[in-house]
Amino acid sequence: MTQLPKPTSLPPSSSPNTTNANNLQPHEQTQTATTSTAAAFPSPSLNLRITNLTHPGTTLFLSTTNPSITIPRAINNLLRLLYNSPSDPSTHPPPTSSVTLILEDFSGVAYTVGSPTDSNAKEIHFSQSYISHIDRSRLANEIDGVLTHELVHCFQYNGRGNAPGGLIEGIADWVRLRCGLAPPHWKQEVKDNWDAGYQHTAYFLDYLERRFGNGTVRRINEKLRVNRYDERVFWPELFAQDVKSLFADYTRTLKQQGL
């Protein structure tokens, strides 16, 4: 197992396919404040494990990505978005002690799990087969996006294990969206349920962030730390509205835009 350097204060990631400068606005607003204090954020040990060094996916990963840069940068970006700064008393990052990236061959894209013996030790499993099939023109961007999404799972809260999976995945994709790492196929579209998950919930959360102000998703994540998730009280306590009403408002804005 290769141990990667611990996270340091690095600039936000950029992407050649970023089309909305507002996606990076939270980074721009907090970069100066966090540059000198990022070291106070949780600083987990970072490790890399490769199960098959000769797999084409491994070759592509290592030729386009420097994990000792990409992973610490992604961690710092997500911490800024979900926790603002180490000195912010309204947020409390979890005590994640280690993150191990494991490149191995399996169907699917990636998943994150905790160690059975230490809940603060996280493992990100990334499919070598998936990596080998990514369009070469956006290989580095997609790897960065997937890693950012999975790293969010290492540092977010889940309402004492009771939050809907769509919300958890939506928060992870919202961070990816705000980092300018949305893939080309993502788009806002009308869905039946607010917790459809992934980019669908991410765009809904981004609507709430714009409507209620920067730090809205941060407040959602913090409430998921403090309280066991109960939809009947969770959203009204935050926004004085239930989530179905908020989602109906969001859906109306999409229809007005012809989406």
User: What residue numbers bound the domain in which 186 lies?
Assistant: 160-259
- What pLDDT shows up at residue 116? 86
Residues 134 and 208 in one domain: no
64-70 long-range Cβ contacts below 8 angstroms, 24+ apart: 64/139, 64/140, 64/143, 65/140, 65/143, 65/144, 67/4, 67/101, 68/4, 68/5, 69/10, 70/13, 70/143, 70/144, 70/147
| pLDDT band with cut points at 50, 70 and 90 for residue 8 | very low
Q: What is the pLDDT of residues 208-218, one digit of tens each?
A: 999 999 999 99
Same domain, 147 and 182: no
CA 201, CA 77: separation in Å to the nearest integer? 20
pLDDT in tens, 56-108: 999 999 999 999 999 999 999 999 999 999 989 999 999 999 999 999 999 99
Q: Looking at 131, 155, 179, which one is the last position of a domain? A: 155
Surface-to-core class of residue 145, CB atoms within 10 Å of its CB (0-12 exposed, 13-18 middle, 19+ buried): buried
Rounded CA-CA distance 6/76 in Å is 11
Region for 206 from its dihedrals, namely left if φ exceeds 0, alpha if ψ lies in -120 to 50, beta otherwise: alpha
- Cα–Cα distance between 150 and 79 in angstroms, integer? 13
Share of the chain above pLDDT 90, in %: 80
**Quick one: 103 and 184 in the same domain?**
no
Whether 46 and 127 share a structural domain: yes
For residue 2, pLDDT over 80 is answered with: no
Claim to verify: residue 176 and residue 145 sit in the same structural domain: no
Tell me the pTM.
Answer: 0.86
Residues 22 and 126 grouped into a single domain: yes
In this prediction, residue 259 carries a pLDDT of: 77
- Tell me the CA distances in angstroms from 243 to 17, 22, 154, 210, one per residue in order: 32, 24, 26, 16
Mean pLDDT value across the chain: 88
Whether the CB-CB separation of 66 and 196 falls below 8 Å is answered with: no
Residues 123, 228 within the same domain = no
Where does a domain end: 104, 135, 155?
155
How far is the C-alpha of 100 from the C-alpha of 102, rounded, in Å? Answer: 6
Are both 62 and 186 inside the same structural domain?
Answer: no
Q: Tell me what percent of the chain is helix, strand and coil, each rounded to the nearest 5.
A: 50, 10, 40
CB atoms within 10 A of CB 94: 15
Assess whether 206 and 130 both reside in one domain: no
What's the total number of domains in the chain? Answer: 2
Do 140 and 102 share a structural domain? yes
Q: Are residues 124 and 74 in the same domain?
A: yes
Tell me the torsion sign for CA atoms 57, 62, 63, 65. positive
Domain boundary among 121, 139, 155: 155
What value, to the nearest 5°, has the Cα angle with vertex 209 and ends 204 and 210? 100
Each residue of 154-203: pLDDT tens digit?
999 999 999 999 999 999 999 999 999 999 999 999 999 999 999 999 99
> Does one domain contain both 127 and 17?
yes
